[in-house]
Amino acid sequence: MYQFKLEKQLNDFLQKEKNKRKKIGFVPTMGALHRGHISLIEKARAECDVVVCSIFVNPTQFNDPKDLEKYPRPIEQDIEMLLKADCTVLYLPDAEEIYPKGKPFLKKYDLGYYDKVLEAASRPGHFQGVANVVYRLLKKVKPEILYLGRKDFQQIQVIRKMIEIENISTQIDVCEIIREASGLAMSSRNVRLSESAWDNSALIFKTLFFLKENRNEFNSVKALRDEGIKRLGKISDSNIEYLEVCELETLQPIEIFIEKKHSIILVAIVVEGVRLIDNIILS
Ligand code: PAF
Residue 43: pLDDT over 90: yes
| pLDDT recorded at residue 282 | 94
| pLDDT recorded at residue 105 | 82
| pLDDT recorded at residue 104 | 67
Closest ligand 1 atom number to CA of residue 56:
10
Mean pLDDT estimate for the chain: 96
Domains and CATH numbers, the chain: 2-175 (3.40.50.620), 188-282 (3.30.1300.10)
Catalytic residues: 37
Residue 12: pLDDT over 70: yes
Q: How much distance in Å is there from the Cα of 274 to the middle of ligand 1? A: 17
Question: 154-195, pLDDT tens digit by residue?
Answer: 999 999 999 999 999 999 999 999 999 999 999 998 988 999
Q: Give the C-alpha separation, 227 to 223, whole Å.
A: 6
Question: 210-261, pLDDT tens digit by residue?
Answer: 999 999 999 999 999 999 999 999 999 999 999 999 999 999 999 888 777 8
Predicted TM-score (pTM) of the model is 0.96
Question: Which residue among 67, 134, 162, 163 has the greatest number of ligand 1 atoms within 8 angstroms of its CB, and so is best to mutate?
Answer: 134
Closest ligand 1 atom number to CA of residue 61:
10
Angle, in degrees to the nearest 10, between helices 221-232 and 202-213: 160
Q: How much distance in Å is there from the Cα of 211 to the middle of ligand 1? A: 28
Please give all residues whose beta carbon lies within 6 A of any atom in ligand 1, as ranges.
28-30, 58, 61, 130, 133-134, 152, 155
Question: 83-100, pLDDT tens digit by residue?
Answer: 999 999 999 999 999 999
Buried b (16+ CB within 10 A) or exposed e, 247-258: ebeebebbeeee
